[in-house]
Structure 1
């Protein structure tokens, strides 16, 4: 039964569901070049693309295919991880912090790629702390705000960003440089053995952190 499930997942990974992990560098084999690993991905997914095209799609030069993972910056690794996730044009894409370690120009490029993928009919789930980029670039249709592992607010992006209903959403947005850089009250909770009744109000009640 477990083998049958694994064979089923093999038909879904990359083709139906693409995944760009948060720590992309850790997902590469350290002793093989990026080019060889991208070539394997293209072959396994049987897609009509090239290593050069994949790198170019995420704004990276073709010579990086000769590099080993340890020779890449964190931002480069993130973009190559996204290239792998987009390789077979999957109808569902999960992107976990794909802009981590990127400069503003590269961040904008990556988010435009995700927006274009969604505009072609795919479902894109973007997990990010970069509200500033979401606000400036308008890439999201809907936003769900999570606190302590729970969704506390969800709705159209324009509503959540401009008229947030939850205190935590308001605190997150107020902490943005463009909105005054106000510190969030209290301190983050320990998520291990967290009291299920704990809310952001409990955190806010402890006061603001020391400046």
Structure 2
């Protein structure tokens, strides 16, 4: 196992080129390892003041199951669209795409610190609560929306490279896989891990 951190971070700004390089040598173990490392680092960054090993382990299990199931379903759908149906490569490249989560965790920390520094001192007055809600919700929603669109694009490039389909076909396969995962497995995971 030889993790390619250069291309893992290059996929943030040049995903097609990074995934083309990773597709040549990345293994399923590399992708899973990246997903575990990034999951741990993201969890530590976001939850600095309240670290729980059990919560992180539960989140890690859910993350790995989601990665495996979504990549597998997306590879099969891409195969039905005329692609190569490379399940292991799909898992490997989507695992590398988890690098975006680390960047999102850093952006989240910066955003939370900026917003908390500019909060009104008197949070008990009704006007302050209304001001806080309007002041906090819009930036958080905007950042989350931009990140989701960006992550969909990067993940679509990963599926595209792994299965030799067009990016828009990979996006359709990925969205269908996420919907299938959500409909089938999310209720099961909520029963097993209600706190997650």
TM-score, normalization: structure 2?
A: 0.29
More helix by share: 2
TM-score, normalization: structure 1?
A: 0.27
